[in-house]
Amino acid sequence: MTALLFDGVVQGLQLSLLAVGITLIYGLGGVLNLAHGQFAIVGGVAAALLLQLGINPVLAALGGVGAAGVLGLVVDRTLLLPAYRYRGEERLLLGLILTLGFSFLIDGYLNWRFPEFSLSFQLRVPMVELAGIPMRTASLAASLIAVAVFAVLFAFLKLTLLGKSIRSIIENEVGAELCGINPSRTRTLIVFLAAMMAGVAGVTQGLFSSLGTEMGPEFTILGLLVAVVGGVRSINGTLAAGILLGIVNVFASHYVGAYVAYIILLSFAMATILVRPAGLLARFT
């Protein structure tokens, strides 16, 4: 029982890591990124390729995260430019289609180039006892990394001037622009950070299980569901929703099977949109 709960939290943190990027890009850039899971996959594949070259696993992991970030940078500066020319619905629609197309581009290439690929850091790690439950250190490490990333993100958003300007753009883009904030440059930075976080999720996935090139759409969908349930403009909500859905998913998979678990998650997201579009856990404002 408690073991399931822990598993849920571990999975949930991974989901939050993906979803927070979707939330940030949506809140700041007004683009719903349907290629977000593919960023994670690219990060994982890059890390695996570096590992094959015989590079130290830690450096390889960092390299993977960096590769995801660079891909995000490129997407923001090239692919999304036509979308940024518009505002509101038009930008959302164009961004949605462009990122959907880009996700197919990545999926098609990776599945063709690395058909039998799987990333897995074969670390021989012992089990540890935590509060009486045997835990694999790898899952623990993955969760600690996720928590650390979130801590840095929150510190960045709350404490630095740049972080404050980012939050101001999420609140009101025009208002922020009037205060002298350059939304375009901040947007690029956010897409870069969000892609790196997706890269972290991809690489850590290889830490406690394995990562295949065909997992991109699944990552995107799960991230999207968490972002929707958490409220597509709220970062705290996304973190909470990720952990909640992770726990729900693990319990449902255990008791009623994977298909039903997935259907429950999807229904959660649908219900959220229909009943509380600002997010299940959004503050009443």
Binding region for another protein (CB under 8 A): 32, 79, 82, 89, 92-94, 96-98, 100-109, 111-112, 115, 221, 224-225, 228, 257, 259-260, 262-263, 266-267, 269-270, 273-274, 277
Task: List, as own/partner pairs, every contact residues 48-56 make where C-beta atoms lie below 8 angstroms and the sequence separation is at least 24, other chains included.
Answer: 48/117, 48/119, 48/206, 48/211, 51/119, 51/121
Nearer to another protein, 57 or 217 (CB): 217
User: Could you please report the per-residue DSSP string of 18-59?
Assistant: HHHHHHHHHHHH----TTHHHHHHHHHHHHHHHHHTT--HHH
Taking the complex as a whole, the smallest distance from the CB of residue 122 to another protein amounts, in Å, to: 27
Across the chain, the runs of DSSP E, i.e. the strands, are: 127-130, 133-136
Nearer to another protein, 40 or 138 (CB): 40
Taking the complex as a whole, the smallest distance from the CB of residue 105 to another protein amounts, in Å, to: 4
Task: Identify the CA nearest to 204 among candidates 119, 110, 106, 103.
Answer: 119
Are 9 and 247 spatial neighbours (Cβ–Cβ below 8 Å)? Answer: yes
Nearer to another protein, 251 or 262 (CB): 262
Taking the complex as a whole, the smallest distance from the CB of residue 193 to another protein amounts, in Å, to: 22
Nearer to another protein, 3 or 93 (CB): 93
Longest dimension (CA), the chain: 56
- The residue assigned the tokens 């999420």 is 170
Nearer to another protein, 97 or 148 (CB): 97
Taking the complex as a whole, the smallest distance from the CB of residue 231 to another protein amounts, in Å, to: 12
Taking the complex as a whole, the smallest distance from the CB of residue 100 to another protein amounts, in Å, to: 6
Name the token pair of 201: 């999720």
Taking the complex as a whole, the smallest distance from the CB of residue 165 to another protein amounts, in Å, to: 25
Residues 6+ apart with CB under 8 A from 118: 210, 211, 212
Nearer to another protein, 41 or 224 (CB): 224
Secondary element (H or E) of residue 98: helix 88-113
